[in-house]
Amino acid sequence: MENINKVSGDILKHTGVDVSRCYQCGKCTAGCVLASEMNFPPSFLMRLLQTGTADNFERILRSNTIWLCLNCENCVGRCPMEIDIPKIMDYLREQSLNKKKLHPDAKPIVAFHKSFLDSIKKTGRLYEVGLIAGFKARTFRLTQDVKLAPKMYLNGKLNLMPEMIKDRKGLGQIFVKTIDNPKTKNK
């Protein structure tokens, strides 16, 4: 029984969302554009969380469901109980990442997020050329979008140099104190 309270209790503590309020009407799943791609759709995820077992929690952290969620917020918009599923998804992704339980489908997505954050960490802003280079290096998808780049360049959509903010030190500190801080992991 202790286990059961722990999983849903942790969700409540970290997200403020009470999973027991879901009554399985399925509206979230009906409106989710990627439900068919997911290992299990959002309403099923809610059901698994309600069981509160460690096994089911493990299943969730290892699923592609949490990584395929686009945070489009359609589910919460339609849920009769206003359950904030995208917020739960954020929490579950963070847990899955910190506990290194990533589903293979998560790899390119996480690689993209990491390249994105690397760019911000270095310059303060997103440098798209650097983002793509970082993504390609992480995923070995070296030839992806090679046809798009020249046209983007001709259309004036690519900056060859990053824009740097002035207070890069202050910005760097934000990373040091959050995502790069070992103490915030596994919390």
Partner 1 sequence: MKIGFYPGCSLKGSSREYNESVIAIAKALDIELIEIKDWNCCGATAAHSMNEELSLSLPARILALAEAQGLKEVVVPCAACYNRLMVTQHELKDDTKREKVTDIIQMPYSGELKIINVLQMLESYAMDKIQEKVTKPFAHKVACYYGCLLVRPHKILQFDRVEDPQSMDSMIKLIGGTPVDWAFKTECCGAGFSVSRTDLVVRLSGNILQDAADRNAEAVIVACPMCQSNLDMRRGAINETLSKPIDIPVLFITQAIGLSLGISPKELGLERHFVTVKM
Residues that bind ligand SF4 (CB under 6 A): 22-28, 31-32, 34, 42-43, 46, 69-75, 79-81, 83, 85-86, 89
Return the C-alpha torsion angle 44, 47, 49, 51, nearest 10: -140
CB of 9 to ligand SF4, least distance (A): 18
Token pair of 91, please?
């929490």
Token pair of 62, please?
């290892």
CB of 29 to ligand SF4, least distance (A): 7
| Partner in contact with 46, chosen from ligand SF4, partner 1, none, beta carbon below 5 to 8 Å by kind | ligand SF4
Of 54 and 70, which has the nearer Cβ to ligand SF4? 70
Give which of 36, 35, 70, 63 is closest to 48, Cα–Cα.
Answer: 63
**Cα–Cα distance for residue pair 110/122, rounded to 1 Å:** 18
Alpha-helical segments (H) within 99-167: 106-123, 128-139, 148-154
Return the C-alpha torsion angle 8, 9, 12, 17, nearest 10: 30
Q: Does 40 bind partner 1 (CB under 8 A)?
A: no
**Cα–Cα distance for residue pair 72/50, rounded to 1 Å:** 23
Binding residue (CB under 8 A) for partner 1 from 140, 178, 183, 186: 178
User: Under the rule (CB under 8 A), what is the footprint of partner 1?
Assistant: 33-34, 37, 68, 70-74, 76-77, 82, 84, 86, 90-91, 93-94, 97, 108-114, 116-117, 119-120, 124-128, 131-132, 135, 144-145, 147-148, 151-152, 155-159, 163, 165-167, 170-171, 173-175, 177-179, 184
